[in-house]
Structure 1
Amino acid sequence: MKNEQGFTLIEMMIVLLVISVLLFIAIPNVAKQSNNINSKGCDAFKHMVEGQVQAFRIDQKKYPTSIKEMVDQGYLRSNETACPNGSEIEIGSNGEVKIKGG
C-alpha cells in the first residue's frame, strides 16, 4: 500500500472556510478606513490650498477669484483642483476655501 501524503478534501474545505471568514471580517474594516483616509486627505488638501491662497494674496495684493486663476498664476498645479475623494474646492470672495458638498 502506498503512503500518499496530502490534504483531504475536508481539510481543504476547512481552510477555505477559515480564509472566507477572515475576508468577511477584514473587507468592511478596510473600506471604512479608506473613507476615513480620503476624508483626512481632503482636510489636508483644503489647508494646503488655504496656504496657497494666502501666498497669492501676499504676492498679488488681492484674493484669487477662482481655482483656475490660481492654476494660471502657478500657485496650484492643474491636477490639484479636487480632493482625493473627488470633492471639488472653491474659493470665496474673501479668500475662504470651501469643499463643495462638504
Structure 2
Amino acid sequence: MRRLRESGFTLIEIMVVIVIIGILLALLLPNMVRSKHQGQLASCEHSLRAIASAMENYNTQYKQYPDSLKKLMEDKYVQQVFCPSNNSEYGLELAADGKDYTLFCQGSHHLVLGDLVAEGFPQYSGAAGLFRK
C-alpha cells in the first residue's frame, strides 16, 4: 500500500521563513525609527516657525517682543509653545536691546539623529531664521 503524503510545511521550511522575516526586520527597523525621528524634527521646526511668526505679529501690535512664550498663549497668538515630539517647552532668549530673539528646543530628544542636530537645537533666530547646529 502506498502512503499518501500529508500536506503541510516542514519544521525546516517554517524556520527558514522565520529567519528571513527576522533579517528583513533587522534591516528595516532602524530606517523606520530614523524616519519617525526626522518627522518629529520637521514638526518641531514647523512649530518654531509658527511661534516666530506669532512673535512678529505680537511685535507689530505692541512694538516689542513678548518677554515669555506664555504671553503668546495668553494673548491667543499660538495654541501651544511645546515641542510636539516630547512635550518640552520651547525656550526664548531676548537680545539685550529687545530687538531680536532666539527660540530654541530645550529637549535632547533630537540627538538620536546624530550629526543632523546638536543639543539645544533646532533654533530659530529672528535675524537669521532656522538653524540646526
Instruction: Tell me the TM-score normalized by structure 2.
Output: 0.66
Q: CA RMSD in A?
A: 1.7
Distance, in Å, in 1 between the alignment partners of 2:12 and 2:20 is 12
Is the partner of 2:91 in helix, strand or coil?
strand
Distance, in Å, in 2 between the alignment partners of 1:69 and 1:55 is 13
Superposed CA deviations along residues 2-36 of structure 1, whole A, max 9, x for unmatched, are 34111111100000000000001111111122222
Bigger fraction of residues in strand: 2
What is aligned with 1:70? 72
Instruction: Tell me the TM-score normalized by structure 1.
Output: 0.84
Number of residue pairs matched? 100
Q: Which one scores higher on RCO, CA 8 angstroms, separation ≥ 6? A: 1
Runs of 5+ unmatched residues, structure 1: none
Is the partner of 1:97 in helix, strand or coil?
strand
Superposed CA deviations along residues 39-91 of structure 1, whole A, max 9, x for unmatched, are 222222111110011111112222111111111111111xx222233353122
What is aligned with 1:2? 4
TM-superposed CA distance for 1:95, in Å, is 3.7
Choose from 36, 40, 43 the match for 2:42: 40
Identity of matched residues, %: 26
Alignment of 1:42-57 (within 5 A): 42-57=44-59
Runs of 5+ unmatched residues, structure 2: 95-99, 107-119, 122-133
